[in-house]
């Protein structure tokens, strides 16, 4: 058993129902009915209001309500407005159609109302299969884990992803891959999650360049969505480590775009961890078909033409020290014990868009 080391683990499966396949969004009313629901509130971002309307029109018996104001990082003022609407109308369920922003809003509402949720993801971020919610209030983003926010059903319909711009597909796909990468060296790593992680990385690594070349490819989009489901399941199942902590700090402190931040940082953090997690590195490299994990991820990011530096996405250079301090503030399990000097060095490289370096722990 080369892949299981050491052979001692806990495994927690999460309750979830997944429907996967082109056109399956049309089954949404039936899935709702099976949950005992007929009058949903459908949430989306403003940009995906028409899609929310299209899902609403599938509910022919009683009209579905729409709240198209979801925003990144689940700001509390938006949740409060949606909560008023939920409480004022006789809705019996929540449907999120969109990426992590729409799904985050439905989770925030489910947390406070207990209503069941159906998620129709349109990006690769993976929130739909996690019991995790991050909410922002007074400029601070707080994350917690509770089964109360896990959607009861998820419908992966590839047709909903065909409009995702190529650039966002690439960064969102790398965001998904980051979940699987950290699952492989997670303190909770277990054989089942690791199989999903390796398959998820491999599926996305193969599909994303094809999507960049042909954004309308349903085949490549389906394989990417399959990979995203696997990677999201990893995020939902095991604890994450330094990469997610760094991206959380950078996104929250400097208001950087979520998927871009993940895409830029992933190869740098993997290089940082390399010496402390050799077993995970071998599996990541194998999934990428690369000689080693960080050069494989760096080459993939370059091939996908995603932003290469934190400077490009608006991080102020003088913020590096503050970011390093925040990364070190909380304790969390990580293969390599982080320290101020090495984190600062890694962030400097990422800020300039320099190549990742596996400097030893």
Give me the residues that bind ligand NAD (CB under 6 A), please.
45, 47-48, 72-73, 98-102, 104, 122-123, 125-127, 130, 132-134, 160-161, 163-164, 168, 172, 235, 258-259
Query: 48 or 193, CB closer to ligand NAD?
Result: 48
How do strand 153-156 and strand 140-145 relate by DSSP bridges?
Answer: unpaired
Q: How far is the CB of 3 from ligand NAD (least distance, A)?
A: 26
Query: 101 or 193, CB closer to ligand NAD?
Result: 101
Q: How far is the CB of 75 from ligand NAD (least distance, A)?
A: 9
| CA distances for 78 relative to 22, 263, 328, angstroms | 31, 27, 31
Place of tokens 């028409």: 50
Query: 46 or 63, CB closer to ligand NAD?
Result: 46
Query: 258 or 298, CB closer to ligand NAD?
Result: 258
Place of tokens 């983003």: 141
SS3 40: strand
Query: 39 or 73, CB closer to ligand NAD?
Result: 73
Backbone phi, psi, residue 164, to 5°: -65, 120
Q: How far is the CB of 279 from ligand NAD (least distance, A)?
A: 25
Is residue 33 packed enough to be buried (19+ CB in 10 Å), middle (13-18) or exposed (0-12)? middle
| Cα distance between residue 143 and residue 133, in whole Å | 6
Is residue 28 packed enough to be buried (19+ CB in 10 Å), middle (13-18) or exposed (0-12)? buried
Q: How far is the CB of 33 from ligand NAD (least distance, A)?
A: 26
Q: How far is the CB of 54 from ligand NAD (least distance, A)?
A: 13
- Dihedral of alpha carbons 199, 247, 239, 297, sign: positive
The residue number whose beta carbon is nearest to ligand NAD equals: 100
């Amino acid at each position: 058993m080369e892949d299981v080391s050491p052979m001692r683990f806990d495994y927690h499966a999460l309750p979830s129902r997944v429907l996967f396949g082109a056109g399956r969004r049309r089954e949404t009313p039936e899935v709702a009915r099976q949950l005992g629901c007929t009058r949903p509130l459908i949430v989306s971002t403003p940009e995906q209001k028409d899609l929310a309307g299209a899902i609403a029109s599938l509910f022919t018996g009683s009209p579905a309500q729409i709240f198209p104001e979801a925003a990144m990082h689940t700001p509390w003022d938006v949740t409060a407005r949606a909560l008023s609407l939920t409480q004022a109308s006789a809705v019996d369920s929540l449907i999120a159609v969109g990426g992590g922003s729409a799904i985050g809003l439905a989770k925030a509402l489910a947390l406070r109302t207990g209503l069941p949720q159906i998620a129709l993801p349109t990006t690769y971020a993976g929130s739909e299969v996690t019991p995790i919610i991050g909410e922002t209030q007074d400029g601070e983003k707080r994350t917690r884990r509770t089964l109360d926010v896990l959607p009861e059903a998820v419908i992966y319909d590839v047709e909903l992803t065909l409009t995702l711009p190529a650039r966002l597909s690439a960064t969102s796909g790398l965001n998904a891959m980051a979940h699987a990468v950290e699952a492989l060296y997670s303190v909770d790593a277990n054989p089942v999650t690791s199989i999903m992680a390796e398959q998820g990385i491999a599926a996305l690594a193969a599909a994303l360049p094809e999507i960049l070349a042909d954004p309308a490819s349903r085949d490549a989009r389906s394989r990417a969505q399959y990979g995203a489901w696997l990677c999201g399941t990893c995020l939902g199942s095991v604890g994450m480590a330094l990469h997610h902590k760094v991206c959380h700090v950078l996104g929250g402190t400097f208001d950087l775009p979520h998927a871009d931040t993940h895409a830029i940082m992933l190869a740098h953090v993997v290089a940082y961890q390399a010496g402390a997690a050799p077993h995970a590195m071998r599996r990541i490299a194998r999934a990428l078909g690369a000689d080693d994990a960080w050069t494989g991820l760096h080459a993939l990011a370059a091939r996908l033409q995603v932003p290469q530096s934190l400077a490009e996405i608006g991080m102020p250079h003088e913020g590096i020290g503050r970011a390093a301090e925040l990364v070190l503030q909380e304790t969390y399990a990580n293969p390599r014990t982080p320290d101020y000097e090495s984190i600062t060095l890694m962030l400097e490289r990422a800020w300039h868009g320099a190549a990742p370096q596996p400097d030893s722990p």
